[in-house]
Chains A and B, each alone.
Chain A
Amino acid sequence: MPDKPIEGEKRVFMTGNEVVAWAALVAGADIMYGYPITPQNEIMHYWTRLAPKFGREFLQTEDELSAGFTTIGGVLAGRKAFTATAGPGNTLMQEPMSMAEAMRLPTVVVIQQRGGPSTATVIYSQQEVTMTTLGGNGEGLRIVYSTANHQELFDYTIKAFNTAWKYRFPTFVLGDGYQAKMRESLTIYDPASRGIELVEAEPFLGKPGVPGVDRPPTQLRNTYNVEEELYEVLEGYFKDYEKIAPEVAEHEAFGLEDADLVVVSHGVVSRACKAAVKELREGGIKVGYFRPITLRPLPVDAIRETASKARQFLVVESANGQLARLLKEVAYGCPVEMLSLFKPGVGITAEDVVSRVKEIAG
């Protein structure tokens, strides 16, 4: 059995789902649990082909509830476990992930967004932002990376495992069906060759020794008897989350120094926005580009700073304002005017963005 899935680095031309499978392999994922749903299926397809060659496991479950809860079981046993889903599957996934939040379990979930609500369309949207960042009956104690291209799918899937096991918050990679199904060039690599150290997994349950004799038993619960008991636990979690948020938050931006209007977007749509902003700037229009990479936690300071300098935000997304709502909360009190280009469940081109900006500029 070969030791390493990838030696050094390799230039490849792959679909995003294949990229995720390779990234999980090199990140040291031990086991994937999954249930079929488009557009994430090929993550399972590639994983089931690659995994046995490297001593990794797979279980196809009866639904996404089970995929999420078996992933939790894998994590409790001390293995790097992950699952992938989309759309209505993501809806079901919120139940297990609320348990992961409640118990600080380092689950990793890859979401390839599809249209909503309901079954809707099978390939593309950015309509799972609210659910992925704030889903479940909880407080959004989770980390969400929104990727824009295949290189990022690879980089951030590796990072997701490290983030999850380092900080012990459930971690999501938020892609979409365009990224999942499209082929693109990227460099896949052995994380060690880039100086990326993989955070070790360790068991929660079944550690060595007899419980009650050699060590206290590990007894984990998500149910509390009284309100104050829960409050105390959550206060601790919020404090931890607040502390790590600035370390975890990431964004990308350019052209902010002289921009009256800043185009704000995330994920695959930011590619169109980036191209549009470049084109507009070349044409002498002073626009800026801002893209949160983490949607949870958001890069709060950077957003507020930008929202304090720029006159207008143009929020562009393939949803009816799911990113915009998050931004409005963060930018509350800043004088920025929020304008929008929303195309729920539909792709957005650079031309769309350019013409919207020109329309605003008059």
Chain B
Amino acid sequence: MSVQPAMPKSWRVDTKPHKFCPGCGHGLVLKALGQAIDELGIQDRAVFGCDIGCSLLAWDFFNVDTIQTHHGRTTPVITGLKRANPNLVGIAYMGDGGGYAIGSQHLVNAASRNERITVILVNNTQYGMTGGQMAPTTLPGQKTETTPYGRDPEKTGYPTQGPEMVAAITREGAYVARGTVANLRQLKNYLKKALENQMAGNGFSFVEVLSTCPTNWRTNAEETWKMVEQELPRYFKVGEIKVPGGQKEGEANG
């Protein structure tokens, strides 16, 4: 008899193993999110919204009410839900294309309005589901299906700095952080704080997560890990960027 690995209580066991590719970071992000939901005891109040792209494969992932929406539109769906029933804890889960390209106006305006929702954006530097095209987050020189000779920043710009943008346009009360699947304990804490920030009614909460896509990166395990642990943080600074009325992680000890 095989032994089941430890899963968060809020995971839906009968839909496991999940549908993501081997080596994909989504499972890790959703594990950290599941643990955060467990620890906060909000399985009955949470509503999970997932976007189009690989994130949609999470539509039956949790034992949590879930709505799978359109590409880029998870933010307004969860905004509308939260406005209509503020007792719910609204989670909008999306990729970098959904959040920073097709749905960027929704992200910007939900942040500006300080919507009491939690947006989790998984950054794997390209469009996974559609076969690996350039995303706003693609690294300079990175080869994708639409930048076969590498991304040229002169022609297509530099990687979008999402959390920095959200931090710049939100007022006091917002929580903004960038985590990584290379540090799950830290990621879980960020997600938990983001959800707590929503539950306290402080304001918008946003966590970008640096993640992996060995399928489209065409990397082996070692290269994949090197990419997420070493390459991505050269362009995307991991840490808390905005914390309402408190100290950022790591500052407590001076």
A65/B47 contact (C-beta < 8 A), A73-B84, A221-B68 known:
no
Q: Are A73 and B106 in contact (CB under 8 A)?
A: no
Chain B residue contacts of A59, Cβ below 8 A? 79-80, 83
CB atoms of A219 and B65 under 8 A apart: yes
For A66, list chain B residues within 8 Å (CB): 73, 76, 79, 105-106, 109
| A-contact bits for B84-109, CB 8 A (1 contact / 0 none) | 11011000000000000000011011
Contact of A205 among B62, B65, B73, B76 (CB under 8 A): B65
Closest to B79 in A: A70
| Number of residue pairs A-B, CB distance < 8 angstroms | 141
Interface segment among B52-60, B189-197, B216-224: the answer is B52-60
* Whole-angstrom CA separation of A77 from B78 in the bound complex: 10
Q: Which residues of chain B come closer than 8 Å to A96, judged between CB atoms?
A: 70, 73
B68, B84, B108 pick with most chain A CB within 10 angstroms = B84
In Å, the complex CA distance between A221 and B49 comes to 10
Tell me whether B83 and A57 are in contact (CB under 8 A). yes
The reply to whether A70 and B85 contact each other, CB–CB distance below 8 Å, is no
A71 at the binding interface (Cβ < 8 Å): yes
- Complex CA–CA separation, A29 to B120 (angstroms): 31
| Chain B contacts for A190, CB-based, 8 A | none
> A217 and B69: CB pair below 8 A?
no
Q: Which residues of A contact B81 (CB under 8 A)?
A: 73-74, 76-77, 205-206
> Is B77 an interface residue, CB under 8 A from the partner?
yes
Docked complex Cα distance between A222 and B50 (Å)? 11
In the bound assembly, the distance between CA atoms of A31 and B10 in angstroms comes to 31
**Which DSSP category, helix, strand, loop or mixed, fits chain B's interface?**
mixed
Q: How far is A62 from B79 in the complex, measured between Cα atoms in Å?
A: 12
Cα separation A71 to B81 with both chains bound (whole Å) = 8
CA distance A70 to B70 in the complex (A): 12
User: Closest residue to B65 on the A side, CB-wise?
Assistant: A205
A195 within 8 A of B: no
Given known A69-B73, A77-B88, contact A218–B83 (CB-CB < 8 A): no
Chain B residue, CB-CB nearest to A68: B76
Q: Are A212 and B106 in contact (CB under 8 A)?
A: no
- Nearest CB to that of A30 among chain B residues? B84
A72 on the interface (CB 8 Å rule)?
yes
Asked if A178 is an interface residue, CB under 8 A from chain B, the answer is no
Within 8 Å CB of A69, what residues of B? 69-70, 73, 76-77, 80, 106
A192-210 CB mask vs B (1 if < 8 Å, else 0) is 0000000000011111111
Q: Which residues of A contact B (CB under 8 A)?
A: 30-31, 33, 57, 59, 61-63, 65-66, 69-74, 76-79, 81, 95-96, 99, 203-213, 217-223
